[in-house]
Structure 1
Amino acid sequence: MFESISTPDFETLYTKNDLNVIDIRETESFLQGHLAHSMSLPATVLPNMLKQLNKEKTYHIISYSGRRSEIIASFMASKGFHAVHVIGGMQQLSHAF
């Protein structure tokens, strides 16, 4: 299943719940700043790492601006994962976190 969530709704959910967040930015960008407890799986390697993920979990996918996360969330959904695209990405979240 593929869904999208707005930045404000994600921020509320993130602060109140233990989410499975996958940051698909390149490692260098991830190391410069990321959400606590998020997993770094760059978009270039994620397709090869799907076997390590649990299809029973929901994954919130985040990129810099939200464009690539929408593509990856859709791809993951096509493979049987419950993926949620975070609209606006880190670009909008960086002000709140």
Structure 2
Amino acid sequence: MNSITPDELQQRIEAGEDLNIIDVREDEEVAAGMIPGAKHIPLGEVADRVDELDADQEYYMVCRGGRRSAMACEILEGNGVKCVNVEYGMTAWKGETIA
């Protein structure tokens, strides 16, 4: 499984890269803020919503600390979707968030 730190992700966003970011936290966690442009798919829904994702794209998975996003990556990779786990998740995010 590929991984990236929140700082590396922030640098890529600031460089203007078009990234597919998916936040797998629960509704109440996301209500406190999420990375701008991220799509919200709670971990419990990832397996049922794989068909919403393009297998030709790469997805950056984020949660609070990195564990749930790693689980989401395992599910997606098992279904042929390329993904990158954002290590340490939102607890280490220093960039802008939207609520």
| TM-score, normalisation: structure 1 | 0.91
Q: 1:10 matched to which residue of 2?
A: 9
Residue by residue over 1:21-76, the C-alpha shift from the partner in whole angstroms, topping out at 9 and shown as x without a partner, is: 00000112112100111000000111100111110111000000111111111221
Paired-residue identity, %: 24
Which segment drifts farther, 60-69 or 2-11? 2-11
Task: Report 1:1-97 matches (<5 A).
Answer: 2-16=1-15, 17-93=17-93, 95-97=94-96
Aligned-pair RMSD on alpha carbons? 1.1
Residue by residue over 1:76-97, the C-alpha shift from the partner in whole angstroms, topping out at 9 and shown as x without a partner, is: 112101100000101100x332
Structure 2: 5+ residue stretches without partners: none
Deviating beyond 2 angstroms after TM superposition, the runs of 4 or more aligned structure 1 residues are: none
Give the Cα–Cα distance (whole angstroms) in 1 for the partners of residues 53 and 71 of structure 2: 18
> For this pair of structures, how many residues does the alignment match?
95
Counterpart residue identity of residue 9, structure 2: F
